[in-house]
Structure 1
Amino acid sequence: MDAEGLEGFRDFVDNRSSALLRTAVLLSGGDRYAGEDLLQNALAKAAGRWERIDEPEAYVRQILYRQQVSRWRLKWRRRELTVAEPPETRADTDASSAAELRVVMREALSRLTARQRTVLVLRYFEDLPEADVARLLGCSVGTVRSTTHRSLARLRVLAPELAALGPADAEFRSSRDHSPVEVRP
């Protein structure tokens, strides 16, 4: 890479790394360290091809998605977090607090399978259409739709306090089947 290319790469990393890190952390289930690793690997791959990249952010995001897909295809076992005592639950949780909602969402996302989490991040955080998600993950649009549906149903079970963020129409909620879905890692 020449001096001009190196400067362009440094500028890109300085300007876009925080947004890319947020995506990487979400893709890795809220694990900041795994997200940093994911982003560093993506940036290292992009640096090697920097001179030939037309749209750097799209290229790095594609690497992030594909690396995450490769991780969950390896069928690694999830590490289980062990604690001395179970966490306390509060009945009077103020669900309107944005900080608390982020914590609840991060915890619920971390309990989904990697595939479910990836589909939700691409669909709702990255705001990609179903066809783009299907293309990125190498599956059909129907698979994206069914995975999205099952993932959202699982989120409703894992974090019922997030229901306040859903549709306000009670008839819509009552017409849907919200029964638990068996999810295998």
Structure 2
Amino acid sequence: MFLEQICPGQVNSHPQALHTFVFEDDRFIVYATGSKVVIYIDPDNLAQVITASSLFTEQQPFVPITAVCGNSKTGEIAVSYSNEIAVLKPFKQENGIKWVLSTILDSSCLVTCLDWSLHNFLLCAGEEILLFSYNDAMNSWNKIFKRKPATNIVLAKFEPQSNVFATIGKVGFIVHSYIACIMRT
């Protein structure tokens, strides 16, 4: 059985509009349906439904959320809508866990793919490839990598055990690999 078959509502047609991750011994299913993000704890326990209008200021009619991704290390969830990425932080309550908006990142181009690395780098791809890093000292996100690919990216993923990531373009289906090297001072 496909995971999309147990998700109420139709999952958006983008390849990375559905994501599962484990955080603090719970498995979460996050998916985009229309302009909403639905979060389940396992397939049968609804945790939260978040609308794009509660996250993003500029709404366009009939524009779907294009990608979602959960971070197993921090519990954060990234959501892309057009050219903006919302980063949601987990907040524990008596009756479970909820996510609240932490920040909005602007990419200036359409984002259709999101992924988190082992070291909490956020990969955003679509019309451009962007890599963001969180700076604890400054309490802000920094854009540390930017590249304009020859064609729009349809799939971008980190290798699970490192900072190597690969992308696949819309035309030609050539896989490009990158290594995220960050100098920390």
Normalised by the length of structure 1, the TM-score is: 0.28
Greater helix share, structure number: 1
Larger strand fraction of residues:
2
What TM-score results when the alignment is normalised by the length of structure 2? 0.28
